Chains A and B, each alone.
Chain A
Amino acid sequence: MFLKSAHKDELTEDAVKYAKLGPLILEKCRGGKTAYKDEGVEIDQIDSEDERDEKQSSSKGAKGKRVAGVVHSAYWCAQGQSVRAYLSHLLLNSDHRYIAQTSYGLAPSSESRIGHKIQSYP
């Protein structure tokens, strides 16, 4: 796959580890109920909200279209996890619709740390 090959050389040991965790995190995002904790990734908050996307809403889930449904958000932070490793693991898990963000203090528990947020879309 294009993305996998383009970034293969940049993958770190951490990235490989998180590549395996990525699908689990996303599943937990979709479930929106239970926290996930394993190998340095502890989701500390999960939110769910119903999003209606105005006129672009479609029950058919068309290609490239925004669709109405429930958006799940998960927040976590991990000391020592590099930003690049985090993004690299997401590149490997591309069969989803999501927005992942990383920033200083983004997660509720990430004061003085790098926080991560992932929003999974229907």
Chain B
Amino acid sequence: MTQVKFNVLLAILDPNAANTLFETVNYFKTYHPQIRSAFANAASWFISQAFIANRQTGTHRDGHSAPAGLDGLLTFGHYQGGHLELVDKKSTPASTVPEVVNVSIPYGPMTGILFRGSLFPHRVSPYQSIVGKDLNRFAMAFFCDREVLLHAGFNLPYPVPREDHLAWIAEVFSSGMSPQTHIVP
């Protein structure tokens, strides 16, 4: 269900990106029968995914993501702290010019975030486990992978057009249409 919710959120926030990912999944299902079964039970339109266990991620940008795409983040576990920080990272070495934290977003357990991970340098601040084991923070990342889109023959232009997106959302989610319904036999 989580993956479906990210599909819905993406469709609301950026219908063009959602449509592109939707069509990309359909492309793989249609023209790559050798991996079709890999998507049989996958509800997500984000083909590239990552699972991060017990790691405080340092400053980075998601270099494989399309600049105009939105990447999803979801946290689990029992911990406190661990904010998502968007930083202003200078081009000079970090040792001489410190990073400036521009935004610090509460990023506790069961937080879902969609943002442009390839554009904004980001990191996770220190966190502390509050229950049981020391190792108790997990995150899932759903990437709008540029290479995957290009391989499927799609591109994601920037800026993102928003015309007719309400109609598209209504068409997808009112009709019950989903990637699963478009599996080619």
Task: Indicate if the CB atoms of B42 and A84 lie closer than 8 Å.
Answer: yes
B50 contact from A63, A94, A97, A101, Cβ within 8 A: A101
Chain B residues, CB < 8 A from A85: 41
Whether the pair A100, B128 counts as a contact (CB closer than 8 A) is no
B137 vs chain A, min Cβ distance (A): 7
A113 interface neighbour in B35, B49, B53, Cβ under 8 Å: B35
Docked complex Cα distance between A24 and B38 (Å) = 22
Q: How large is the interface on B (under 10, 10 to 19, 20 to 34, 35 or more residues)?
A: 35 or more
Does chain B have a CB within 8 A of A48?
A: no
Interface positions, chain A 77-97, Cβ under 8 Å from B, are: 79-85, 87, 90-91, 94-97
Query: Which residues of A sit under 8 angstroms from B32, Cβ to Cβ?
Result: 112
Minimum C-beta distance from B166 to chain A (A): 30
Interface residue? B54 (CB, 8 A): yes
Q: How many angstroms from the CA of A37 to the CA of B95 in the assembled complex? A: 43
Q: How far is the CB of B109 from chain A (nearest CB, A)?
A: 8
A85 CA / B143 CA spacing, docked (Å): 18
Whether A102 lies near B48 (C-beta < 8 A) is yes
Determine the chain A residues whose CB is within 8 A of the CB of B40 once the complex forms.
Answer: 82
Complex CA distance for A12 and B41, rounded to whole angstroms: 9
Inside 8 A of B138's CB, which chain A residues have their CB? Answer: 3, 91, 94
Cross-interface CB contact of A98 among B55, B78, B82, cutoff 8 Å: B55
Spell out A's residues near B (CB within 8 Å): 2-3, 6, 12, 53-54, 56, 63-66, 79-85, 87, 90-91, 94-106, 112-114, 121
23 contacts between A and B (CB under 8 A): A53-B58, A56-B56, A63-B127, A64-B128, A66-B55, A66-B56, A66-B58, A79-B34, A79-B38, A82-B41, A87-B49, A90-B51, A91-B138, A94-B53, A94-B54, A98-B53, A99-B52, A102-B48, A103-B145, A105-B147, A105-B151, A114-B35, A121-B55
Interface contacts beyond A2-B77, A90-B53, A104-B148: sample of 7 additional A-B pairs, CB < 8 Å, sorted by A: A6-B76, A53-B58, A63-B127, A84-B42, A103-B48, A113-B38, A114-B38
